[in-house]
Amino acid sequence: MKFSIPLPFLRSLLLATLVLLLLNSSTANAQNLAANRRLVMDWLKTLNQHDTNRLVHFYDEQVKLESPNWEGVLTGPAEAKTVYSRYFTSTPDLKNELTNVVLTDTCAVVEYTSSGTLLKNETGVPEYMRGKKYTIKNCTRMDIRNGKIIHQVNYFDQVAFLRQMGFFDHHN
């Protein structure tokens, strides 16, 4: 007995399978986009609360943190806590306002404006900067996997910050 499946049926079956795979993939991507949006909004809210203990939970244990304004690549949530603790200590009134977010299912690019008053100078920071208010633009790129940030790169306008701190007035 010979058994054969008609070619039109096979084509229909293949097409239906492909459609189901695409729909499933689209649903997963939409879910990841929604989850990544929540992560970004919660991350920014936590930054504004200056809650470094909660902040570390956004990061994977092996997260890589980078900025052209830091020396080298930092690794791990504890390093994120150290960096943000410095910011919150030196500028206790630091606030971040979201200006734009671009999301994919694996990445987020977050633009925001930070403002505050530098009250506690870090080591090596000149005294004339104390008490100065500043507003700077930031851009942070996050690679996200399984609901955690696995790689983060921070950029901010260092020249604008130094200008507002009076650096160029003291170094002509």
Domain holding 112: CATH number? Answer: 3.10.450.50
Is 162 inside any structural domain?
A: yes
- Give the span between the Cα atoms of 119 and 136, in whole angstroms: 16
User: What total number of domains does the chain contain?
Assistant: 1
- 1 falls within a domain: no
Distances (CA, A) of 7 to 17, 19, 38: 15, 18, 47
The answer on pLDDT for 1 being more than 70 is no
Domain that holds residue 99: 7-170
Examine residue 43 and state whether it is found in any structural domain, yes or no: yes
Question: Locate tokens 């492909």: which residue?
Answer: 18
Distance CA 160, CA 162 (A): 6
2: in domain: no
Residue 126 placed within a domain: yes
Provide the 10 A C-beta neighbour count for residue 61.
11
- Is residue 51 situated within a structural domain? yes
pLDDT band of residue 58 (cuts 50, 70, 90) is: very high
Please give the pLDDT value at position 33: 87
Collapsing DSSP to helix, strand or coil, 53 comes out as helix
**Angular region, 27: left φ>0, alpha ψ -120 to 50, beta rest:** alpha
Helix (H) or strand (E) holding 124: none
13 — pLDDT class (breaks 50, 70, 90): low
Within a domain: residue 29? yes
Q: State residue 10's pLDDT score.
A: 63
Kindly state whether residue 149 falls inside one of the protein's structural domains. Answer: yes
Side by side, the strands of the sheet bearing 107-117 are 74-75, 59-66, 148-156, 133-145, 107-117, 95-103
Give residue 44's pLDDT band: very low, low, confident or very high (50, 70, 90): very high
pLDDT tens by residue, 78-134 = 999 999 999 999 999 999 999 999 998 899 999 999 999 999 877 778 888 999 999
Closest CA to 77 of 56, 54, 53: 56
Model pTM?
A: 0.80
Q: Average of pLDDT values for 131-157? A: 95
Measured distance CA(148)–CA(34) in Å, rounded:
14
